[in-house]
């Protein structure tokens, strides 16, 4: 199994991406549930990484691809691990501070930050389509932030954590994109978990506590659903392009709303119904535009300045 598209199968890719959204939403729900059971953030991060590592290594071994772990880019993996674990800390932090639907909606701002980073880091020329999408997306954030009374008010600190998480996820996406040029996707995950789990283990004695059987089941479920999501993401990109299947990522809001209602007895405020479509629309516009520019680059051999 390699990282490229072996044979385009769009319906299979869409189905796998739909399952990815469910797996990620399940992981998010269990992160929040575990925090309510008294599991500290660093302990959550440790078990997420420590339990994911053997799962992914086992998959590589089963596929006869364990040799894909070999790399000449240890420094790049270390940089990705540092930014990645800080990013994951903010993602999990947002999940513990905010209702699931709000945290999920804020995660959809990652494409907006990716556009901003492409300008700041790579001096990429961005035209009216993507700038308009960025403006539309952040307008959606402002709408979500509007108080709708004491019940519907969104915690500003939680929102700040969620937006920083989205920014860091965008940074990580550029790092993974670079690593994907030479590394197998499962190997990237293996190096990430293998490097960060021992570091988190050093802090474990200061934050770990005893848990009952239910809490341990939640922790294991969180790790398994997270590892499953990682492998589903890789598989979906094997059978379809990101521009085609990314629309399924937004179904995570449906799952988050359902979990929020059934597990935490929380329904999203009315303003989320107005702000979320703006953020999702912005992400889709950016994805569409990236797809167009990629096709233009493939046909012309170089990426012309964007004029729209």
Instruction: Say if 2 falls within a structural domain.
Output: no
Instruction: Say if 306 falls within a structural domain.
Output: no
Mention every residue, 6+ apart, whose C-beta is less than 8 A from residue 70.
Answer: none
- Copy the structure tokens of residue 151: 């019940």
Predicted pLDDT at 129:
79
Instruction: Say if 4 falls within a structural domain.
Output: no
Render pLDDT for 135-190 as a digit per residue (tens, 0 to 9). 888 888 888 776 544 444 667 888 899 999 999 988 988 888 788 788 877 788 88
- Copy the structure tokens of residue 192: 């990430």
Write the DSSP symbol of residue 183. S
How many other CB atoms are found less than 10 A from the CB of residue 36? 13
Instruction: Say if 307 falls within a structural domain.
Output: no
Q: What does the alpha-carbon distance between residue 176 and residue 158 come to, in Å, rounded to a whole number? A: 26
Task: Tell me the whole-structure pTM to 2 decimals.
Answer: 0.84
Mention every residue, 6+ apart, whose C-beta is less than 8 A from residue 149.
Answer: none
The answer to whether the Cα torsion of 209, 213, 214, 216 is positive or negative is positive
Nearest to 283 by CA among 293, 272, 291, 271: 291
- What's the structural domain count of the chain? 1
What Rg do the C-alpha atoms of the chain give, in angstroms? Answer: 19
Instruction: Say if 185 falls within a structural domain.
Output: yes
Predicted pLDDT at 93:
94
Q: Which residues of the chain have pLDDT under 50?
A: 1-6, 148-152, 303-308
Distance of CA 14 to the CA centre of its chain: 17
- Whole domain around residue 138: which residue ranges? 10-300
Predicted pLDDT at 149:
44
Element (H, E) at 257: helix 252-264
Instruction: Say if 129 falls within a structural domain.
Output: yes
How many other CB atoms are found less than 10 A from the CB of residue 292? 14
Instruction: Say if 112 falls within a structural domain.
Output: yes
Predicted pLDDT at 34:
95
Q: Are 159 and 269 in contact (CB under 8 A)?
A: no
- Copy the structure tokens of residue 295: 């096709």
Instruction: Say if 223 falls within a structural domain.
Output: yes
């Amino acid at each position: 199994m390699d990282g490229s598209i072996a044979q385009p199968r769009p319906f299979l890719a869409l189905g796998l991406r739909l399952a990815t959204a469910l797996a990620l939403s399940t992981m998010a729900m269990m992160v929040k549930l575990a925090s309510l059971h008294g599991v500290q953030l660093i302990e959550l991060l440790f078990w997420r990484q420590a339990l994911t590592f053997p799962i992914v290594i086992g998959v590589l071994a089963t596929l006869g691809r364990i040799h894909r772990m070999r790399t000449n880019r240890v420094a790049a993996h270390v940089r990705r691990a540092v930014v990645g674990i800080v990013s994951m800390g903010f993602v999990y932090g947002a999940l513990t501070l905010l209702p699931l639907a709000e945290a999920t909606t804020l995660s959809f701002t990652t494409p907006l930050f990716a556009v901003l980073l492409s300008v700041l880091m790579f001096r990429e020329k961005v035209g009216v389509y993507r700038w308009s999408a960025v403006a539309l997306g952040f307008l959606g954030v402002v709408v979500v932030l509007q108080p709708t009374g004491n019940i519907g008010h969104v915690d500003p600190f939680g929102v700040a954590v969620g937006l920083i998480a989205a920014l860091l996820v965008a940074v990580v996406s550029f790092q993974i994109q670079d690593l994907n040029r030479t590394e197998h996707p499962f190997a990237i995950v293996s190096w990430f978990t293998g490097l960060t789990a021992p570091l988190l283990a050093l802090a474990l004695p200061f934050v770990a506590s005893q848990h009952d059987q239910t809490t341990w089941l939640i922790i294991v479920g969180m790790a398994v659903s997270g590892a499953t999501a990682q492998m589903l993401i890789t598989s979906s990109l094997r059978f379809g392009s990101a521009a085609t299947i990314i629309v399924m990522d937004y179904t995570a809001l449906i799952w988050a709303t359902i979990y929020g209602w059934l597990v935490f007895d929380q329904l999203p405020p009315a303003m989320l119904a107005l702000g979320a479509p703006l953020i999702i629309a912005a992400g889709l516009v950016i994805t569409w535009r990236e797809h167009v520019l990629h096709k233009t680059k493939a046909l012309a051999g170089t990426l012309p300045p964007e004029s729209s």
